[in-house]
Amino acid sequence: MSAKIHEIDPERCRFALEGLPKAGRVTVLPDYFVDRFVRFDSFDTLVERIKTKSAEGGGGSVRGVRQSEIKGGNAVNVAYSLGKFGTDVQLVTIAESLAADTLTATFDRFQNVALEVIKGKPGYTVALEFEDSNRAVNVMVSDPGDLADFDGTAITDKTWKKIATSKIVAVLNWGSMKHGTSLCSKVFSFARERGAYTFLDPADVSELASELPSLKANVFEKGLVDYLSLNENETRIICSKLFEHKLPQDYEVDELKQAVILIAQQLNCTVDIHTRSVSFSCRGSDCVMVACHKVKQKTVTGAGDVWDAADIVGRLLGWETRLRLAFANASAGLYVSKEDGEPPAVESVLDFMAKQRDFY
């Protein structure tokens, strides 16, 4: 496994990436969250300090907890990473007031990103990051805002025209939307009729698991999804809810592979799975696996978005599967090794690929 990864030439990536601005437009929608990262060493320690403060006659401040606040949301993060890589991007999302101004200022640096902001309340997330059993964990406490009721009817004619000329159309965070299946059906049908590829990352599906059969019947069974991106927990829930198949919490790699193949065959699309240690891309029974780099994780929240963006870049450029997964793994690995929450630039990823030789 590692020997094959080492054969990948970062210079080949560099040459190909020079053509990215003309490789085709990517439309990404619809979620925007204002993310506050709260980082601490131990969840138990934080809980104990909160209990102590609560017992002190009405509470008080728990000081010394590292925090930062940045733009967030799967769609916004993927669009930002794509923009930083140099892709032609259209982002369609929901915001108003100060949050909208912050979003606009965030993307002003990119001439290659077109932004449509639909007026409405954005989402808000407090991302709690800590270590559990020597593993970095993130738990997100979220208010989806008006995303919860978004069904695509507010998308303007101007935006539909840009969707019509996109090469890839990506819908993110189905799991936060009451009408996500309707949105996917509407947007993906329109995109597929005009020759675009479709990309779905549903994000955390646990609270909408009961809606997965409807998503399967109204979107997947109608052949509207080309690429499905999942993490291991989303894979576990989909396997259980749709196929009565159990993926253990402490799974072996072969068990994960069988789960990915099952989803790919039953949902009739290409399924990409990204985990801390390995990634897969499967179409039918054809499955490619690439190991991830071993790094000290300093950030967890947003890693999947960086991975998705790099995965989409590989698809735009027509890379063979192993190279595409290696580039996505390196992008996410470099991202989680830093604490600033800033997606990596192309040169940084290529340098990381050339120098990092420690794999799971």
Per-residue pLDDT tens over the stretch 131-182: 877 777 888 888 999 999 999 999 999 999 999 999 999 999 999 999 999 9
The arithmetic mean of pLDDT across residues 333-342, rounded, is 91
Task: Name the nearest CA neighbour of 187 among 177, 178, 198.
Answer: 198
Q: Which residues contact 189 (CB under 8 A, 6 or more apart)?
A: 222, 224
% of residues, the chain, pLDDT over 70 = 98
Angstrom distance (rounded) from CA 250 to CA 2: 23
- 4-8, 249-253, 305-309, 348-352, range with the lowest pLDDT: 4-8
The phi, psi pair for 151, rounded to 5°, reads -130, 5
10 Å CB burial of residue 18 (0-12, 13-18, 19+) is exposed
List the structure tokens of 60.
């008080």
- Cα first-last separation, the chain: 10
Higher pLDDT: 27 or 53? It is 27
For residue 280, the model assigns a pLDDT of: 97
- What is the band of 14 on the pLDDT scale with cuts at 50, 70, 90? confident
Q: What is the pLDDT of residue 6?
A: 45
Q: For the segment 241-300, what is each residue's pLDDT rounded down to a tens digit?
A: 999 999 999 999 999 999 999 999 999 999 999 999 999 999 999 999 999 999 998 887
80 has pLDDT over 50: yes
pLDDT (average), residues 207-229: 97
CATH fold for the domain made of 2-34+72-122+145-355: UDP-N-acetylmuramoyl-L-alanine:D-glutamate ligase (3.40.1190)
Alpha helices in the chain (DSSP H): 2-6, 10-17, 43-54, 74-85, 97-107, 157-164, 180-193, 212-215, 232-243, 253-267, 303-316, 321-336, 346-355
Q: What is the DSSP letter of 250?
A: T
Q: What mean pLDDT do residues 187-204 have?
A: 97
Q: Is 31 helix (H, G, I), strand (E, B) or coil?
A: coil
pTM: predicted TM-score of the whole model, two decimal places: 0.89
Q: What is the pLDDT of residues 171-189, one digit of tens each?
A: 999 999 999 999 999 999 9
Tell me which range, 43-57, 117-131, 267-281, is most confidently predicted by mean pLDDT.
Answer: 267-281
pLDDT attached to residue 2? 39
**C-beta of residue 204 within 8 angstroms of C-beta of residue 234:** yes
User: Helices 74-85 & 303-316, crossing angle to 10 degrees?
Assistant: 50
Please check whether residue 220 is in contact with residue 190, taking contact to mean a CB–CB distance below 8 angstroms: no
Query: Residue 70 — very low, low, confident or very high, per pLDDT cuts 50/70/90?
Result: confident
pLDDT score of 7: 56
- Among left, alpha and beta (phi > 0; psi -120 to 50; other), residue 119 is beta
Cα–Cα distance, 289 to 57 (Å, whole number): 55
Residue 68 scores a pLDDT above 90 = no
Banded pLDDT at 56 (limits 50, 70, 90): confident
